[in-house]
Amino acid sequence: MTEPLEAAFITFIQSQQQSIYRLAFSYTKNEQDTLDIVQDSIQKGWLALEKLTDTAQMKSWFYTILVRTAIDFLRKHNRVLLVGDEVLQQLPEHDTYENLDLHQALQQLPIQLQEVIILRYFEDLKIDEVAHILTLPVSTAKSRLYKALKLLKIELEQEEIIRHA
């Protein structure tokens, strides 16, 4: 492994630590499990670093590792994600969701739809990168994205109606 590649990886992890944490937290909704997933992902990334051929692709490459590690963790621990007020109260202080209604509406979506929204809009990845990370055809990623957006719009409109009733 070359030193510039190692340095680029360390710089990437340091500069993206909040986004990495937020993405892992979106799967676990638990701080300790999130930290375990982040640590495991960094270790896996470090050990597989020589497989990275283009440092410009480091973000999508690492997010692929992170998402797969999170999914494996949930399967291994047979976790069922229940979202309620108690989860919203446990949100980390450095979480950057600015709109609580949006965050709550997002949590109502199935995880397959949540992850495309999070990767596309919160992590600012292109749809082809989202598809690559989630090992989906681009057309499937697009259809999940559109479905998620439609459901979010409906959920947010209902919240608005309830609030003004």
Boundary of a domain, candidates 81, 109, 130? 81
User: Is 104 among the domain residues?
Assistant: yes
pLDDT of residue 16: 93
**What does the pLDDT average to over 44-64?**
90
The percent of residues in the chain predicted with pLDDT above 90, rounded, is 38
Mean pLDDT in the chain? 82
Q: What is the DSSP string of 25-87?
A: HHHH--HHHHHHHHHHHHHHHHHTGGG---GGGHHHHHHHHHHHHHHHHHHHTT-----SHHH
The Cα 50–Cα 9 span in angstroms is 11
Q: Give per-residue pLDDT as tens, 102-142.
A: 777 787 888 889 889 988 888 888 999 999 888 899 999 99
Q: What residue numbers bound the domain in which 138 lies?
A: 97-165
Same domain, 67 and 107: no
Q: Which of 14-18, 45-49, 87-91 has the lowest mean pLDDT?
A: 87-91
Residue-level pLDDT at 92: 44
Query: How many domains is the chain built from?
Result: 2
Q: What is the 3-state secondary structure (H, E, C) of 113-131?
A: HHHHHHHHHHCCCCHHHHH
* 4 and 65 co-located in one domain: yes
- Residue 74: inside a domain, yes or no? yes
Please indicate, yes or no, if residue 47 is contained in any of the structural domains.
yes
Is the distance from CB of 37 to CB of 24 less than 8 angstroms?
yes
Same-domain check for residues 108 and 41: no
User: Does the pLDDT of residue 72 top 80, yes or no?
Assistant: yes
Task: Find the mean pLDDT for residues 88-109.
Answer: 58
Same domain as 69, residue 14: yes
The Cα–Cα gap between 121 and 162 comes to: 26
Q: What CATH number corresponds to the domain at position 146?
A: 1.10.10.10
- 19-39 pLDDT per residue, tens: 999 889 988 888 999 999 999
Domain-embedded: residue 91:
no
Check residue 45 and give left, alpha or beta (phi > 0: left; psi -120 to 50: alpha): alpha
Do 41 and 110 lie in one domain? The reply is: no
Position 90 scores a pLDDT of 42
In a domain, 26, yes or no: yes
Do 102 and 75 lie in one domain? The reply is: no
